[in-house]
A and B are shown apart, each in its own frame.
Chain A
Amino acid sequence: MIDNDYMSELTEIKRLASRQKLLSMHFHAGVGHIGGNLSSLDVLLVIFHDILHGCDRFILSKGHSVGALYVALWSTGRLKSDDLDTFYKDETLLAGHPPSWGVTDILFATGSLGHGFSLACGTSLGMKLQKQNGRVICLTSDGEWQEGSTWEALIFASHRKLNNLTILVDHNGLQGFGRTDEVASMSPLWDKLKCFNVDVSVIDGHDIDVIRKTLLQPQDKLHLIILKTVKGHGVSFMADKMEWHYLPMSEAQYQIALAEQERL
């Protein structure tokens, strides 16, 4: 999927530029969803810079974090600044959720939660049956584990021992209209997942080195990685605030957010 020419280790400079780009895109488009994008950006950057090779494939199940995915593709040279400038504009290829056509590295249109894990299962099994090398990585949200189809996929992947499949959970603890623990608590989610014949890791979702190391662990069965993240990570007034699932930034807020990135 990602050509090796584009591979370059994720550096703090690239990480900072990506955070600035993500904020800028959302500010100039005047749109929300920034909170969940900020919680996903770090892992997406690690995946696209340091993990994916050759035939590896990635599926974004939490489609509302597509802004962070576009930025990760930009950061690795797969999208241009001009492309990102069209975000949310008429005639853009870069829709507000992953589009079905037009972006090579986006395999599936997602956005309705509960599809990505199953799509990842099918990709993984299709590659195995055709003796294709490579791994499949899928990023889910934590709220998404309220979807029954996600559990159908877990049963399937566990039963079939899909050892070329890694499922990530962006565990930021917030969903559309409340805290996941208050809406439909499965806390702690990882204890439930451990009951299936799978490997489960629980890690800091903003520690680049830990994410990289965990993703590079050899696996002989399905690996589920819980990323403990903060919605709105890195912006003081957004951090762990549900409303930043929806709100666009004002000019003043945007300037504060940008200034805070330099100090991170």
Chain B
Amino acid sequence: MRRQFCDAMLKRAANQKMVFLTGDLGFMALEPLQKALGERFINAGIAEQNMLSVAAAMSKTGMEVWVYSIAPFLYARAFEQIRNDVAFHALPVKIVGNGGGYGYGVQGPTHHAIEDYGVLLTLPAMQACIPVFDEDLDAAVSWIAANNLPTYLRLGRGEQPSDFQVPLFQPWRLLVEGNGPVVVVCGPLASTYIETVKAMEESSRPNLWAVSVLPLALATPPPEMLRQLAKTGKLIVAEEHVQRGGLGSELTLWLAERGLSPLRFAHLYAMAHRFERYGSQSYLRRQSKLDPLSLQETLYSL
């Protein structure tokens, strides 16, 4: 999504209030943006704490501020700066984390971002945008730019089948319809299930939903999903995020508060940093039982 992100940002470059800060990341990707923005493209160096405070203060002066780095270098390294300087003042800084989930794969646990939106959404006014498809970036960037809240943008990689018609960017999207349980997936992981789910018999095929905006207060579960859930009583939430603080806990709480809890529930999530072996993003998804086969097994056993 990095290239698509850069393309979307280029369209905003003419806005003289827009400024882009990077923590020394973007080689072979952001050069066009650097050229287009000139002095408004700021390589803040390898100093993320300073970069986030600078971003907050620039936002306070009236600029539209985007901050970019490898995701954990932002939300983990500079958490207090995001908390005190951005969130406490509800400043609409746009925090762009590359390598959402296990995106950095074999690079190892320091680069993985599997507690990012959970941690950030504990902060006041914070919202998260997790595009599913590379094609989402244009609309996602426009949506983030247009709203006035601090926002975390988690970049990953869409992996839908080549013949799949990508629906327009929305907080909730029904990707595949069926008569089975409801499967709600956060971000690009949803795109990896399309092929498998589509191939299932219609009677047992789940309704596959993708969520791209959190918290749910800003992305209310659609009535259609609630009707499907009421029919089967079965819900699976899958996310490339640790068990605590993610979509699984937020959605089940949201449903419980409204007396809509499912009869059966399963949560597929990132198994933290427990592995002794590393590998690609798809290897780590398999290890976490987030791969399509694991989803299918969960559907059968639910």
The contact of B88 among A100, A148, A153, by CB within 8 Å, is A100
Give A153 to B81 CA distance when docked, in angstroms. 13
Option from B44, B53, B59 in Cβ contact (under 8 Å) with A149: B53
> With the chains together, A121 CA to B47 CA distance in Å?
13
Given the known interface contacts A115-B84, A126-B61, A156-B45, the answer about A121 and B89 at a Cβ–Cβ threshold of 8 Å is: no
Q: Which residues of B contact A153 (CB under 8 A)?
A: 50, 53
Find out whether the CB atom of B53 lies under 8 angstroms from the CB atom of A126. no
| B186 within 8 A of partner (CB) | no
Asked whether A125 is an interface residue with its Cβ less than 8 Å from the other chain, the reply is yes
The CA of A123 and the CA of B56, in the complex, are separated in Å by 9
Q: Find A122's partner among B39, B40, B53, B88 (CB 8 Å cutoff).
A: B53
Whether the Cβ atoms of B50 and A126 lie closer than 8 Å is: no
Tell whether A127 pairs with B61 under 8 Å between CB atoms, given A109-B89, A118-B54, A156-B54.
Answer: yes
Let me know if A118 and B63 touch, CB within 8 A.
no
Pick the residue among A100, A118, A159 that contacts B53 (CB under 8 A): A118
**Residues in A whose Cβ lies below 8 Å from that of B61:** 122-123, 126-127, 130, 132
Q: Are A115 and B85 in contact (CB under 8 A)?
A: yes
- Asked whether B60 is an interface residue with its Cβ less than 8 Å from the other chain, the reply is yes
Instruction: Find out whether the CB atom of A119 lies under 8 angstroms from the CB atom of B17.
Output: no
Determine the chain A residues whose CB is within 8 A of the CB of B81 once the complex forms. Answer: 115, 118, 149
CA distance A129 to B57 in the complex (A): 13
For the complex formed, measure the closest distance between the CB of A122 and the CB atoms of chain B, giving whole angstroms.
3
Indicate if B62 sits at the interface (CB-CB under 8 A).
Answer: yes
Report the minimum CB–CB distance from A157 to chain B (whole Å).
9
Q: Mark A97-115, 1 if CB is under 8 A from B, else 0.
A: 0001100000111101011
Q: Separation in Å of the B132 CB from the closest CB of chain A?
A: 33
Number of residues on chain B facing chain A (CB within 8 A):
28
- The CB with the most chain B CB atoms within 10 A, among A118, A155, A159, is that of A118
Does the CB pair B54–A125 fall under 8 Å? yes
Interchain nearest-CB distance for A101 vs B (Å)? 8
Return the contact of B49 from the options A107, A122, A125, A148 (Cβ within 8 A). Answer: A148
Given contacts A108-B84, A118-B81, A121-B54, 14 further A-B contacts (CB under 8 A): A101-B89, A108-B56, A108-B60, A118-B50, A118-B53, A119-B85, A122-B61, A123-B57, A129-B58, A130-B62, A149-B49, A152-B50, A153-B53, A159-B45
Q: B: which residues have CB within 8 A of A?
A: 17, 19, 39-40, 42, 44-45, 47, 49-50, 52-63, 80-81, 84-85, 88-89
**15 contacting pairs across A/B (C-beta < 8 A):** A100-B88, A112-B80, A114-B49, A119-B53, A119-B57, A121-B57, A122-B56, A122-B58, A126-B59, A126-B60, A127-B61, A129-B39, A129-B40, A130-B61, A149-B53
